[in-house]
């Protein structure tokens, strides 16, 4: 996998790093478009077919449960066979799931709908796991920035997707399919295209190259450019893995709980699909668009400082969501933008901590296992959010989410304790 000519090895590695990022960026544009469908109309489809708000959180739960299983499988595939095979398989499975949602909605088949939403979750988890591919050949001081480049490219598709709700709805109706299924037609095509792009162009596989580099370094081979493979983070080993995992878990729980119920909350107070699409698209933009700046901040001022900033922004989002009038578009936009921004801070800082704490020998399977935990906890928050709102209010849910984000403070304090002397570990399920 490594070039035989070691003279220009550093230049070769830099070219491969840039080419890998370009491939990931292109695939993420399509992946983002597929991601947006479930966020925007998944809950509305179930509400329309079942006629009960108590079940509105089920789509988010099924999608995140499906993403949990696929995160594990994609992580294992990537560890043994490389990112190309793992990511391509995950995206194509997600595309098939989206096609199943379209068929189930058209036929009014609830069991098929639930199964298809579960399979569709493979695309959403793979969309997140693709961010790791750009970091495999990055230097430690570039890792958060590499994550951010992958994530910001998702914005183009993810922001455009919700704003195509009406267009795709009309297209679906022209085919004799319910309008709400329209965004999932887009998702099916987008996920499959993302998978094909990665399968065709992610060569040589960056993760397999990184594993070879680590082995060469371990064998003390003289390869220019391998000395930066090891992490220079003070939070390493098992401590680093648990800190990064906790940061991402908390931000995911708060974000999914509030985001899942926002379309239902808006519909109850007279907002139409186009207004829901606008709010969700701006929310998703805030999740991904600030990534370039966030990545640089995480690399410059530190992982734990940005984790703390995530908690503060999520608290502000929860308070704003609870306080603004339900008919205020501006207030809802501000709340959901803050929600997306807080998630962005937490995901990038947590991801960087995880990468710092692992080595290629265990990195992909550890990343997959962590994403399983994130998805499972997210599924619980998505399912419970509908029950909470049905028995209390959207404001109560939002305020509880904001308060939960404060748990990031003790996590940051713990991470700044005495650094672990353990070697980079792994997390298994």
Answer with the residue of higher pLDDT: 236 or 331. 331
280 falls in which pLDDT band (50, 70, 90)? confident
What value does the mean pLDDT take over residues 293-304?
A: 89
Residue 214 maps to a domain: yes
With CA atoms as reference, report the closest residue to 253 among 128, 42, 397.
Answer: 397
Number of domains in the chain: 1
Residue 429 maps to a domain: no
What is the pLDDT, as a whole number, of residue 150?
83
What is the pLDDT, as a whole number, of residue 42?
78
What is the pLDDT, as a whole number, of residue 38?
66
Answer with the residue of higher pLDDT: 271 or 155. 271
Taking a C-beta distance cutoff of 8 angstroms, is the pair 192, 91 a contact? yes
What is the pLDDT, as a whole number, of residue 154?
78
Neighbours of 35 (CB within 10 A): 30
What value does the mean pLDDT take over residues 2-10?
A: 65
What is the pLDDT, as a whole number, of residue 428?
45
pLDDT at 94 over 90: yes
Residue 399 maps to a domain: yes
What value does the mean pLDDT take over residues 381-395?
A: 84
Residue 319 maps to a domain: yes
What value does the mean pLDDT take over residues 31-47?
A: 77
pLDDT at 318 over 90: yes
pLDDT at 344 over 90: yes
Residue 426 maps to a domain: no
What is the pLDDT, as a whole number, of residue 226?
46
What value does the mean pLDDT take over residues 127-152?
A: 84
What is the pLDDT, as a whole number, of residue 268?
83
Q: How high is the mean pLDDT of the chain?
A: 83
pLDDT tens per residue, range 166-205: 788 888 889 888 888 888 998 999 999 999 999 999 989 9
What is the pLDDT, as a whole number, of residue 205?
92
What is the pLDDT, as a whole number, of residue 168?
83
Instruction: Calculate what percentage of the chain has a pLDDT beyond 90.
Output: 31
Three-state SS for the chain is CCCCCCCCHHHHHHHHHHHHHHHHHHHHHHHHHHHHHHHHHHHHHHHHHHCCHHHCCHHHHHHHHHHHHHHHHHHHHHHHHCHHHHHHHHHHHHHHHHHHHHHHHHHCCHHHHHHHHHHHHHHHHHHHHHHHHCCCCCCHHHHHHHHHHHHHHHHHHHHHHHHCHHHHHHHHHHCCCCHHHHHHHHHHHHHHHHHHHHHHHCCCCHHHHHHHHHHHHHCCCCCCCHHHCCCCCCCCHHHHHHHHHHHHHHHHHHHHHHHHHHHHHHHHCCCCHHHHHHHHHHHHHHHHCCHHHHHHHHHHHCHHHHHHHHHHHHHHHHHHHHHCCCCCHHHHHHHHHHHHHHHHHHHHHHHHHHHHHCCCCCHHHHHHHHHHHHHHHHHHHHHHHHHHHHHCCHHHHHHHHHHHHHHHHHHHHHHCCCCCCCCCCCCCC
Instruction: Calculate what percentage of the chain has a pLDDT beyond 70.
Output: 86
pLDDT at 419 over 60: no
Answer with the residue of higher pLDDT: 84 or 220. 84
Angle at Cα 227 formed by Cα 223 and Cα 233, nearest 5°?
160
CATH number of the domain encompassing residue 58: 1.20.1250.20
54 falls in which pLDDT band (50, 70, 90)? low
Residue 72 maps to a domain: yes
Answer with the residue of higher pLDDT: 309 or 152. 309
Domain that holds residue 350: 9-415
pLDDT tens per residue, range 204-257: 999 999 888 877 777 665 554 444 444 445 455 678 888 889 999 999 999 988
Residue 283 maps to a domain: yes
420 falls in which pLDDT band (50, 70, 90)? very low
What is the pLDDT, as a whole number, of residue 166?
76
Residue 4 maps to a domain: no
């Amino acid at each position: 996998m490594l070039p035989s000519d070691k003279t220009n090895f550093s230049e070769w590695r830099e070219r491969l790093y840039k080419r890998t990022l370009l491939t990931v960026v292109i695939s993420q544009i399509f992946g983002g478009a597929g991601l947006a469908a479930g966020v925007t109309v998944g809950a509305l489809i179930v509400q329309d077919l079942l006629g009960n708000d108590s079940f509105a959180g089920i789509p988010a739960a099924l999608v995140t449960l499906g993403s949990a299983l696929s995160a594990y499988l994609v992580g294992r595939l990537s560890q043994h066979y490389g990112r190309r095979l793992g990511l391509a398989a995950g995206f194509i499975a997600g595309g098939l799931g989206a096609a199943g949602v379209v068929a189930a909605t058209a036929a009014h088949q609830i069991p098929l709908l639930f199964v298809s939403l579960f399979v569709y979750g493979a695309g959403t988890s793979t969309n997140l796991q693709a961010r790791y591919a750009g970091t495999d050949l990055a230097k430690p001081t570039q890792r958060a920035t590499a994550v951010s480049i992958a994530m910001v490219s998702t914005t183009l598709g993810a922001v455009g997707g919700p704003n195509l709700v009406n267009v795709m709805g009309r297209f679906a109706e022209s085919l004799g399919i319910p309008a709400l299924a329209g965004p999932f037609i887009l998702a099916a095509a987008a996920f499959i295209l993302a998978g094909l792009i990665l399968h065709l162009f992610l060569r040589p596989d960056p993760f397999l190259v990184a594993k070879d580099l680590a082995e060469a370094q371990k064998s003390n081979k003289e390869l220019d450019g391998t000395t930066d493979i090891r992490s220079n983070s003070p939070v390493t080993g098992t401590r680093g893995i648990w800190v990064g995992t906790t940061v991402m878990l908390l931000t995911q729980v708060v974000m999914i709980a509030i985001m899942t119920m926002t379309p239902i909350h808006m519909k109850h107070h007279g907002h139409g699909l186009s207004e829901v699409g606008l709010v969700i698209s701006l929310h998703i933009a805030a999740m991904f668009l600030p990534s370039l700046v966030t990545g640089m901040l995480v690399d410059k001022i530190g992982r734990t400082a940005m984790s703390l900033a995530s908690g503060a922004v999520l608290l502000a989002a929860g308070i704003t969501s609870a306080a603004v009038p339900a008919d205020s578009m501006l207030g809802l936009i501000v709340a959901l933008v803050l929600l997306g921004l807080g998630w962005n801070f937490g995901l990038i800082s947590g991801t960087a901590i995880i990468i710092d704490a692992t080595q290629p020998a265990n990195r992909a399977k550890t990343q997959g296992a962590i994403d399983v935990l994130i998805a499972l906890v997210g599924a619980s928050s998505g399912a419970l959010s509908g029950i909470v709102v049905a028995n209390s209010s959207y404001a109560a849910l939002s305020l509880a989410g904001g308060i939960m984000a404060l748990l990031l403070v003790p996590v940051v304090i713990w991470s700044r304790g005495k650094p672990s002397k353990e070697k980079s570990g792994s997390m298994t399920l």
